[in-house]
Structures are given as C-alpha cells and as structure tokens.
A and B are shown apart, each in its own frame.
Chain A
C-alpha cells in the first residue's frame, strides 16, 4: 500500500484531510458554544427551536470540540510526523483519507443524533449508540494505519511522540467502547453508582489518555524543530510517558469525590492526581529546557508559537487540576463554573491551541509555501488567547461566587442575578474565540487550496 512508485516528495493527503476536518468543526463547535452561552444569560434566546435548546446545544458543543476539532487537529499532526519520524510513508494514505471522510460523516450524525433527542445523557458519552459504533470504527482504522506504519518503519527507535500517539489511539479505541457501555445499545449505561465510576474512568481518559498524550506528542515534535535544538533529554521524555500511563489511568474518581463511591477509589484518585505533578513537570522541564533562550525562533514560526502557548496552559491546567482533586478545595469548586473554566483551559487552552499549532506547523511543510496569511494567523492567535484567558478569569470568579453560595446554603435562583453580568462577559469573550475560529478556517483553507505562495502576506 505504501507507494514507492514515484520519487516525488510525499504530499500527506491524510494530514491535510484531518487539518480541514479540524478547522471546519472548530468553527461549528464554537458556534454551538455561543448558542449555549447565549442561553445562560438570556434563557428565552432561541426558545422555540426545539433541536437547539441548551440541553442539546451544550452536548453538541462539547462533542464537536472534543471529537470534531481537537482530536482530528492533533491526528493531522500525527499523520504527518509519524511517517517522518519513522523514515517511511504512511501505511495507507487512501485509508487515512477515507478515515477523515468517515470522521466528518460521524460528526454530522452526532449533531443530528443529539439534535433529534437521542442523547444518552451521560457527560462526554452523550453520542447515540450508532455514532458510538462509528467512533470505535474510526479509532480502529486509525490504530491499524499507525501500527502498520510502525511495522514498516526504517528507524528502529520510536521517538517519544510516536509512543504518545500510539498509546493515545490504542487506549481510547478500547476505553471508548467500554466507557460508552456499547454492549447495551438501548441505554448505553450501567445501573447506579458503578455507572458513574465507569463513566468518569472513561471521561477522564478522554482528557488524560487521548488529548494529553496527543498534545504532548505534537509539542515534543514541533518545539525541537522550530528551535533547531535536539530534545533536552529523550530518557526523561520516556520517564514522563511511562509515568503518565501508570498514574493517569486511575484518577477518574476525582470527579466523584462528593458521591458515595468506595473510599479506596477516592483515595487512589486523589493520591494519583497529586502524583500527576511528576509526569507533568517532567514534560515541561524537558520541553522548556529544549527551547531555552530560543524565543526568537519560537516567535518566527507561528505553529511553534501556538504550541509553546499550549505548554503554558498545560502547566496551569494541571496545577489547578491537582489542587481541585483535594477534597477541601473541591468542596468549594465542585458543581459550578470553576470546573467549566478548568475545562476550557485544558481542552481549548492546552489541547486545542496545540492542535492549531500543529496545523500551522505542518501546512507550510506539506504545501511547500508559507501559510496564506501570517497576519491572520497571528490575529487568530491573539483572539483565541484573549478569549481563553478571559474565560478562565470570568468563569473562575463565577465559580467562586457559586461555590460560596452553595456552602452557605443559598438557593440557586437567588444567585442567578448576581452572576448574569459574568455570563454576558463570557459570551462576549466567546465571540473573540469564535471569530478566531472562522478567521483560522479561512486562512487554513486558503493556505491549502488558493495559496498564491511566496507573495503571501
């Protein structure tokens, strides 16, 4: 399948197809996010459109950002760097492009399924059974393509990025079906507390064993190249990888500290959440030492600029996460917008920004031309960064107001007027992110299809 017939430089159609997938769903997902944000300060907003009320717009937003924007964006970089790092070609570009097309069909089915009311109602596992099956098939196709590429490699050593991406897709491929209780098509759930435990085992794996390793894989690839420096330590990076596998797999129950689940599970989750400091700092020390003193090079490459910003958010989200796993802190931060703030710092600030960085890094290398407009890319960078940082600040403040209110036994409806202005601020900040997504989509589509080349702005 890996064609060796011609001597032309490879054109990486799979990576391009995943770039397009990611960029289009980024725009769509932020639009649904805006609709959800609108409902929070104006509950009658779009009230008569049944398939678009908050209960549907929210899961559509969340599933589209996770499976439509961030995962394909990181996979795009994966499908570019794995063949390069292994000094071979992708096992099958045809299979890769087919996977990307099926990926888009799956996302469309996800919107229709949730919009039509077939949500399974478990957070991060809302997608209806048929869409669940499609996602499992997608991951099987990706795993097959990647494992076969590894098999035909000409480089014996697997660079740490290859370890991370392979682990991410293999682990998610298996966890997805189990977490979505795929063997029970009618409910997609177990009964009672065991269901909550299974759901959050799966839910946290989506952040910890899909987005995190794939994001780190991209950072480990992009930053050394952009700064023309070898990785500070490959041994350290492997220690980070294996400690992530050991520690991150058991921390799902930190989402259930206020729930009557067995205490030993809570203890394991808390201890390992704090221990996460090890894999996190190992990665950051390694990456930051690699790029030390090379700020000019990072600023010169817009892809590296996004990826580096992603590492900063990675630092914040993990330190915040370890704190939030302590029961005494979570008594205030649970069940309110603090967690939503954390979610946006992690999924958008770290994983999403890194995915954008990966896309901007690989596009000029694949097309052989600079991106269509460096200016628009810079503009998107700032719009997205201002939006996320604003989200983090506003949502954290709202979270603290709500947290104190719940502790003091205040009723929800009396708190609502107090937090409404913050919801307005959050929606305004959302506009900057959405604008960034649309500008990025324009820039990326032009870079791929209608790029004048060296005359690029």
Chain B
C-alpha cells in the first residue's frame, strides 16, 4: 500500500503551495513590480571589481592550442573508428 503516503504527500504539497500563493497575493508580493525589477541593483556601487585578464594574448594561444588538440583528438577517433570498421 504505497498510495496513501503519496496522496497525503501530494495533498500536503498542494495545500502548502496554495497557502503560500494566497499569502503572497495578500502580502502584496505581486504589486509594485516596477520597483521589484531594481531590487538587485540597490546598494551596488562602482564598477564590477573583477577586471579583464592582462594575459589576453597568452589566453588566445592556450585556447587555440586546446581547440586544435580537441580537433586532432576528434580526427584521431574518427580515423580509428573507420580503420576498425572497414
């Protein structure tokens, strides 16, 4: 007999969601949506503190090498498969 647990659980989930929704409605959570859009920005001053890397060229070289090795390994895999299944 598994379903009494499940039905009880489903009902509990439904009721709790409904209560939360009604609370949100009454508490004005769906009002003042224009101000809500700005909430993350409050108190955020100055430019983002993480700066772009100075090793830009180095990064490009590494990425290029990585991309090439990826392509080479893909090519090796394809060649191996073709050789194994003539």
Residues in chain A within 8 A of chain B (CB atoms)? 81, 84-85, 87, 155-161, 178, 190, 194, 198, 220-221, 224-226, 228, 230-235, 238, 242, 245, 249, 297, 299-304, 360, 364-365, 368-371, 374-375, 377-379, 382-383, 386, 390, 417-418, 421-422, 424-425, 428, 432, 456-457
Contact of A374 among B13, B50, B62, B66 (CB under 8 A): B50
Known A-B contacts A245-B17, A364-B49; A379 and B41 likewise in contact (beta carbons under 8 Å): no
Residues of B within 8 Å of A364, CB to CB, are 48-50
Pairs across A and B, CB under 8 Å, 12 listed: A157-B35, A198-B6, A238-B29, A249-B13, A374-B53, A374-B54, A375-B54, A375-B55, A377-B53, A382-B63, A421-B80, A457-B53
B42-86 near A? 1/0 per residue, CB < 8 Å: 111000111111110011001100110010011001001100110
> What 1/0 flags go to B18-30 for Cβ under 8 Å of A?
0001001001111
Secondary structure type dominating chain B contacts: helix
The reply to whether A190 and B50 form a contact with Cβ atoms under 8 Å apart is: no
B7 located at the interface, meaning its Cβ lies under 8 Å from any Cβ of chain A in the complex = no
The dominant DSSP class at the A interface is helix
Known: A224-B40, A231-B40, A238-B30. A424 touches B48 (CB 8 A): no
Distance between Cα atoms of A299 and B9 in the complex (Å): 45
Partner of B39 from A155, A390, A456 at Cβ < 8 Å: A155
Q: Would A421 and B50 be within 8 Å (CB), given that A157-B36, A378-B59 are in contact?
A: no
Chain A positions within 8 Å of B13 at CB level: 249
**B2→A190 contact, CB < 8 A:** yes
Q: Which residues of chain A are near B17, meaning CB under 8 Å?
A: 245
* Cβ-closest chain A residue relative to B20: A167
Residues of B within 8 A of A386 (CB): 66-67, 70
- B73 touching A425 by the CB < 8 A rule? yes
Residues of A within 8 A of B74 (CB): 425
